Amino acid sequence: MKLAIQINEGPYQHQASDSAYQFTRAALAKGHEIFRVFLYHDGVNNATRLAVPPQDDRNITQQWTQLQKEHELDLVVCIAAAQRRGLLDEDEAKRQGKDANNIAEGFRISGLGQLIEAGIEADRLVVFGD
């Protein structure tokens, strides 16, 4: 089955981010295809490379980055939601006149059209968080 995943909550606000990560890992282990993971609303905070959780806590951004490397996942961050929350990739930071970027390795910024495409292409769109 071809799945698309939408994450609407940040990594340390609710269980949604952890549930999405565990679901995606389990789906891949069972042989399902993940068409795209789309981070929307506060879910874009899963993509920041500047978060530093305590050593005894999980680092959800690193977990997603590792999973992306292992399975060549398409991790898309909604540009509008990201800009509202101060998340920028290198190109967007330059375009906005900012001197830094903070999107973690393996993630990319794009528009809402990527979510629409995922919903069309996938057999199921699974949404985590409000």
Contact (CB, 8 A) for 61 and 11: yes
78 as an active site residue: the answer is: yes
Where do runs of H (alpha helix) occur along 51-112?
Answer: 60-71, 79-84, 90-95
Cα–Cα distance list, 94 to 15, 75, 97, 101 (Å):
34, 21, 5, 9
The kind and range of the H/E element at 6 are strand 2-7
- C-alpha of 93 from chain center: 19
Catalytic residue among 3, 20, 78, 87: 78
| Residues annotated catalytic, as ranges | 78
